[in-house]
Amino acid sequence: MEPAIRVRDLRKTFRVAERDAGLGASVRSLVRRRYREVAAVAGVSFDVAPGEVVGFLGPNGAGKTTTLKMLSGLLHPTGGEVSVLGHVPARREKAYLGRITLVMGNRNQLQWDIPALDSFELNRAVYRIPEPEFRRARDELVELLEIGDLVRKPVRTLSLGERMKAEVAAALLHRPQVLFLDEPTIGLDIGAQKRLRGFVAEYNRRHGASVLLTSHYMADVQALCQRVVVIDKGQVLFDGGLRQLTARFSPHQTITVQLAEPGTDLSAFGAVVEAGEGRVSIQVPKAETSAVAGRLLAAHAVTDLTIEDPPIEDVIEQAFSAGRTA
């Protein structure tokens, strides 16, 4: 099957004017400018299959937004190849723009002083969506996002979470097949984050759309993505399942036991990471987890035992630091 998104050795280098501090430096910089090259994206390759939801992760400044902008045709690559639904994004063909969308959590496209419904009409005209299809899409989005009342109020009177839902509806009226979502849940409270990701999952299921999602909230990633592409300094550090990410970057598991006799020292079994009230957590190499658990149960009166992988946040953090020292 042809991938929906195909990225090969993608690069973007920005040329930024350098200037020292101070007035003298400002004057000198007018005469003779010095430039520095910033390799924001430095050879990124990956595919996204039709209907696949992929998390695109990385620390601040890793190159995520720059990549998404190139994929949606807002920026011209310095090098490499991109193909999305068979189109070259940088050409910004109408046929292409009508099949994708870019949602940026920290930018708004809705007009501030008018109700979202009126902005939806504008989008209908821009995308030349036939009236019956527009109505169907609009009504479906309004229902799924539960924004029937909100879309009649001026956007400036909406809360952040309400506005984000209206933004997402506006971005999906033309029923795009590829969604680039850049921090769509940023700043939203936990409940609103949850509803929005439930919606993305439902849109993906109903319309078989491909989704490339960046988020600093791992709950979004865990709920939506079977696969993640992790980048740092413009390069791919990891591409695969969340489970494999954990296996690769976190070779430990945590065994937590509830002891019948509080105060027992378990440091002989592994690194004690938490202890109190008869509850002790120890970290052990994954390959030894079951053997250590067995020995613990044999040696002590244990009333409860759980084995856990580390939180995905910690795994990602380890992936980043591994990338930095590589």
Ligand X SMILES: Nc1ncnc2c1ncn2[C@@H]1O[C@H](COP(=O)(O)OP(=O)(O)OP(=O)(O)O)[C@@H](O)[C@H]1O
| Closer Cβ to ligand X, 38 or 219, answer by number | 38
Nearest to 43 by CA among 234, 229, 228, 232: 234
What's the token pair of residue 88?
């070259």
Q: How many residues bind ligand X (CB under 6 A)?
A: 12
Q: Does 270 bind ligand X (CB under 6 A)?
A: no
| Closer Cβ to ligand X, 61 or 285, answer by number | 61
Question: x/- contact string, 74-113, with ligand X (CB under 6 A)?
Answer: ----------------------------------------
DSSP string of 290-324, one letter each residue: HHHHHHHHHHS-EEEEEEEPPPHHHHHHHHHHHHH
Q: Does 65 bind ligand X (CB under 6 A)?
A: yes
Cα 306 from Cα 257, distance rounded (Å): 7
Residue 42 neighbours by CB distance under 10 Å: 20
Footprint of ligand X on 5-64 (CB under 6 A)? 14, 16, 38, 40, 58, 60-64
Footprint of ligand X on 129-148 (CB under 6 A)? none
| Closer Cβ to ligand X, 38 or 223, answer by number | 38
| Closer Cβ to ligand X, 57 or 169, answer by number | 57
User: Minimum CB separation from ligand X for residue 59, in Å?
Assistant: 7
Segment holding 18, helix H or strand E:
strand 5-18
User: Minimum CB separation from ligand X for residue 231, in Å?
Assistant: 7
| Closer Cβ to ligand X, 66 or 246, answer by number | 66
User: Minimum CB separation from ligand X for residue 224, in Å?
Assistant: 18
Backbone angles phi, psi at 273, to 5 degrees: -105, -20
User: Minimum CB separation from ligand X for residue 90, in Å?
Assistant: 16
Cα 184 from Cα 213, distance rounded (Å): 8
DSSP string of 168-200, one letter each residue: HHHHHTT--SEEEEESTTTT--HHHHHHHHHHH
User: Parallel, antiparallel, or unpaired for β 34-48 and 53-57?
Assistant: unpaired
Q: CB-based burial of residue 311 (10 Å sphere; 0-12 exposed, 13-18 middle, 19+ buried)?
A: middle
Residue with tokens 């029937």: 148
Q: Does 250 bind ligand X (CB under 6 A)?
A: no
Cα 20 from Cα 170, distance rounded (Å): 43
| Closer Cβ to ligand X, 16 or 301, answer by number | 16
User: Minimum CB separation from ligand X for residue 235, in Å?
Assistant: 12
User: Minimum CB separation from ligand X for residue 60, in Å?
Assistant: 3
User: Minimum CB separation from ligand X for residue 40, in Å?
Assistant: 3
User: Minimum CB separation from ligand X for residue 153, in Å?
Assistant: 30
Query: Is residue 39 within 8 Å of 77, Cβ to Cβ?
Result: no
| Closer Cβ to ligand X, 56 or 134, answer by number | 56
Q: Does 66 bind ligand X (CB under 6 A)?
A: yes
Q: Does 294 bind ligand X (CB under 6 A)?
A: no
What's the token pair of residue 40?
């924001």
Residues that bind ligand X (CB under 6 A): 14, 16, 38, 40, 58, 60-66
